[in-house]
Amino acid sequence: MNHASTLKAWRALPVMLLSFVAITVSAAVTEDTYLSVPGFLDQSFSGEPEAGVLWLDETQRSEAREISGEDPGFRKRYWHQGDTVAWVIDVIGRDHPITVGVLVGPDGVSDMQVLVYRESRGWEVKHDFFTRQFDGAMLEGDKLDRSIDNITGATLSVRAMKRAARLALWGYAQVMVQ
């Protein structure tokens, strides 16, 4: 390697470091927490809800995978009081998980909120004008009983929210049978 190419390499180093820092900082900035899990539970229940875990067997995992399009793992945590169940579900938007709180009762979804949003676009799904569409939603087979309006530029986030609602409704049915 001659002197000129070594000098070019050293001059490029600050640009590469600056690019690395910009990418790292932008990745860290994209996580927005709108509501904590305890905050969601406080809003959802009067008093302290009881915590529970839904352990999924292979049949349930397969059903949950069909409903949500994602591997649900072997267990799902939930909180309940009477016949109302709260779920905190991570669903993938485009590249990163969106943490969603879903409250389900006998009349379907009664509340749905984005708790943490980690994508660079599509954050509009956090607004009430969008999440109110899920109020009263029920499962018909493996689909929601209603159409949910899309948001331009947030298609993958909208799909993730639908998957979260379907998984919470399916989980509610599993918990109520136990």
Question: What are 99's strand-pairing partners?
Answer: 90, 116
Segments making up each domain of the chain, as ranges: 1-30, 32-177
* Per-residue pLDDT, 13: 55
Select from 54, 156, 169, 68 the least CA-distant residue to 110. Answer: 169
pLDDT per position as a tens digit, 19-28 = 555 454 444 5
The proportion of the chain whose per-residue pLDDT surpasses 90, expressed as a percent, equals 78
Q: How confident is the model at residue 172 (pLDDT cuts 50, 70, 90)?
A: very high
At 6 the pLDDT is 59
Compute the distance between CA of residue 34 and CA of residue 117 in angstroms, rounded to an integer.
8
Share of the chain above pLDDT 70, in %: 84
The pLDDT of residue 176 is above 90: yes
- Using the predicted structure, report yes or no on whether residue 81 has a pLDDT greater than 80: yes
Question: Within the chain, what is the greatest distance between any pair of CA atoms?
Answer: 76
C-alpha span between 88 and 101 (Å, rounded): 5
For residue 91, which of 112, 107, 71 has the smallest C-alpha distance? Answer: 71
List of long-range contacts for 50-57, beta carbons under 8 Å, 24+ apart: 50/79, 50/80, 50/81, 51/77, 51/78, 51/79, 52/77, 52/78, 52/79, 52/80, 52/175, 53/77, 53/78, 54/78, 54/171, 54/174, 54/175, 54/178
Q: What are 113-160's pLDDT values in tens digits?
A: 999 999 999 999 999 999 999 999 999 999 999 999 999 999 999 999
93-107 pLDDT, tens digit per residue, is: 999 999 999 999 999
Q: Residue 31: which pLDDT band, with cuts at 50, 70 and 90?
A: very high
Q: What is the pLDDT of residue 3?
A: 63
What 3-state DSSP class applies to 119? coil
Query: Taking a C-beta distance cutoff of 8 angstroms, is the pair 93, 69 a contact?
Result: no
Question: What is the sign of the dihedral through the CA atoms of 63, 66, 70 and 71?
Answer: positive
Give the model's confidence band at 76: pLDDT under 50 very low, under 70 low, under 90 confident, else very high.
Answer: very high
